[in-house]
Amino acid sequence: MDGNGRWAQQRALPRTSGHSAAEATVIDVIEAARSAGVEWLSLYAFSTENWRRPDEEIDFLMRLVRRVVRKHALLLHARGIRCRLLGAEDPRIPAPLARDFADLMTLTEANRGMTLTVAFDHGGRQDIVAAARSLIRAGVPADAVDQACFAAHLPVPDTPDVDLVIRTSGEQRISNFMLWQVAYAEWIFPPVLWPDFRAPHLLECLHEYRRRDRRFGGVAPQAKG
């Protein structure tokens, strides 16, 4: 979800205004994805690298995320959405926000609609290191470690591989997002800034994804005749 700062800059507003404007996009995209039949949706809300931002901006983001979680928790639950968290281990995360995340996951854990994963204080490299440490602690022999075994030790291990990554604002880089899971993901980089991104943009990306020929390193079968 990229472009909040540039959205605000274009309007001569503080960066925090861009973050506030992004709330409407988040809810619109969640609703549109659910209606389109998307079974797993992940939103990259705050990365391990985002701690390098100014303290004032980080404090604002923590308050904003808490307000959004508390405001929309019952709506997400009513929609049958199961909410998960990927990350959120840094002790700098305010305790009230951590409790709100935990309460949201408890509230929605029995839901069987779309699964919404919020990547917060998330980093793909951090997850891979965590998996390696888990394997070592479990005493798994080196020869027994294969891809399936490694994936089983990742945080939130039942998360499926990512099919499609949408990065708004035209930026074209991974930014440490779910590095293991995006190995064969399709990528789309719409130029629209995140606060302006809406359901029609998401549907356009889904349509583009369905048009792509996904071969996973193989070749298309040859027609006979």
Helix (H, G, I), strand (E, B) or coil at 157: coil
Other CB atoms within 10 Å distance of the CB of residue 81: 21
Find the length of the chain.
225
Our answer to whether residue 4 is catalytic in this structure is no
DSSP classification of residue 113: S
What gap in Å lies between CA 37 and CA 138, rounded to an integer? 38
Candidate list 4, 28, 50, 59, residue with the active-site label: 50
What gap in Å lies between CA 71 and CA 28, rounded to an integer? 14
Here the tokens at position 112 are 């069987």
CB 63 within 8 A of CB 99: no
| Residues contacting residue 127 through CB under 8 Å, at least 6 positions apart | 86, 154, 155, 178, 179, 180
Here the tokens at position 145 are 């470690």
What gap in Å lies between CA 211 and CA 218, rounded to an integer? 17
Our answer to whether residue 2 is catalytic in this structure is yes
Q: Please give the positions annotated as active site.
A: 2, 50
